[in-house]
Amino acid sequence: MIIDPWSSQDIKDYGKLRDEFGIEPFSQLIKKINNPSMLMRRGVIFGHRDFGRIIDAMEKKNPWAMMTGLMPSGKFHLGHMILAQQIIDYQNRGGKIFLCVADIEAYNVRKKSYEELRETAINEYLVNYIALGLKPKNCDFYFQSDRNVPYYRLASSLARRVTFNEIKAIYGQISPAKIYSALIQVADILHPQLTGKKPVVVPVGVDQDPHLRLTRDLASRTKEEFDFIPPSSTYHVFMKGINGGKMSSSNPSSYIALTDSPEEARKKIMRAFSGGGATLAEHKKHGGNPDVDVACQYLTYIFEPDDKKLTKLIEGFRKGDIISGDLKGYLADRVEKFLKEHQKKRELAKRKVGQFLK
């Protein structure tokens, strides 16, 4: 494990996550997983709840599923790739993929039109997923606003089992729109089991955990009527923005979009926040701090698939043998190459969109 978010500065309350919320370190079960993915073995996926059920189903070749949602707003950027990589990995491991476009939520909470949302969901999200390797077989890509009667009936049936305080705990404040969104999101997570009881894993960032807790509670409260297995979940760290702060869809200088030109991407990387010493001499003497270095992160999360090479780069940087400019250059080459290839794949992907839409 290269990243140890349980001891990192970014998320301070891991003890609380474990003790109060029952999120367990992912590292504890990684040896049970056949050929763990890069994100798993590097600790980017750092926590889980009941992931053992998924491992068990994979081993026994029992049906299982992965469910996730996307909020169709803004550009698809490197930060979104963390989830995309997981989706595709789970599909390759034999899971049925449920990919929900949260357009009812976006319509109500962000006040966009369904047409605009559909356009963004397809051109920004679906096309990139396909280009990254998502296949139509065993993939159920759907819009909340265009699902089916049993799904809406499920959402409707949850209304009597949820309280204001539970929804307040998730959103901080409540409104009819937020209550509706919360109910439909619980239905998103549970409805894969309407066509057969099975373990379902939802990969999320820690900020999404309140939704998972609510869903697990509602799975218990509907026991006599639906008999759902409470969803499993995994938790991944967030990629930092180019500037070392939050990667934010509303701030294009904080991210590299998958449609950015390779040249533009290179420029952004060369400007990225560095964990290197203040001067070359200092860096050589005291070394760099890979924990805050953006280039180190991006290599770890996406761009250096070879674990040995990655360790060499990071340790070299930590010791001061590798300087920031070289590390950024190395990353920029990788990103440029990736974007060139990816943008070609996007053109092919556009023709495959129809296979994912009913």
108 binds a copy of itself per the rule CB under 8 A: yes
180 binds a copy of itself per the rule CB under 8 A: yes
59 binds a copy of itself per the rule CB under 8 A: no
CB of 167 to a copy of itself, least distance (A): 7
Report CA 194 to chain centroid distance, whole Å.
24
Evaluate whether 84 touches 127 at the Cβ level (below 8 Å): no
Among residues 12, 31, 61, 111, the one that binds a copy of itself under rule CB under 8 A: 111
Residues 13-42 that bind a copy of itself (CB under 8 A): none
| Angstrom distance (rounded) from CA 94 to CA 62 | 10
Per CB under 8 A, the segment of 110-118, 195-203, 212-220, 343-351 that binds a copy of itself is 110-118
Q: Please provide residue 320's backbone torsions phi and psi, each rounded to the nearest 5 degrees.
A: 100, 0
Q: Helices (DSSP H) in the chain: which residue ranges?
A: 14-21, 38-41, 52-60, 78-92, 103-109, 114-120, 127-132, 149-158, 164-171, 176-190, 209-221, 223-226, 262-270, 280-286, 294-298, 307-319, 324-352
Residue placing its CB nearer to a copy of itself in the complex, 153 or 340? 153
CB of 21 to a copy of itself, least distance (A): 23
Residue placing its CB nearer to a copy of itself in the complex, 140 or 336? 140
351 binds a copy of itself per the rule CB under 8 A: no
Evaluate whether 236 touches 45 at the Cβ level (below 8 Å): yes
Measured between alpha carbons, how far is residue 56 from residues 91, 322, 334 in Å? 16, 43, 36
| Angstrom distance (rounded) from CA 156 to CA 12 | 37
Residue placing its CB nearer to a copy of itself in the complex, 217 or 326? 217
Residues 151-170 that bind a copy of itself (CB under 8 A): 152-153, 156-157, 159-160, 162-164, 167
Evaluate whether 203 touches 24 at the Cβ level (below 8 Å): no
Residues 117-156 that bind a copy of itself (CB under 8 A): 144-149, 152-153, 156
CB of 149 to a copy of itself, least distance (A): 6
65-70 and 200-205 beta bridge pairing: parallel
- 276-298 in b/e form (b: 16+ CB < 10 A) is bbeeeeebeeebbebebbbbbbb
The contact mask relative to a copy of itself for 223-242 (x = CB under 8 A, - = no) is --x-----------------
177 binds a copy of itself per the rule CB under 8 A: yes
Residues that bind a copy of itself (CB under 8 A): 104, 107-109, 111, 113-114, 144-149, 152-153, 156-157, 159-160, 162-164, 167, 174-177, 179-181, 183-184, 225
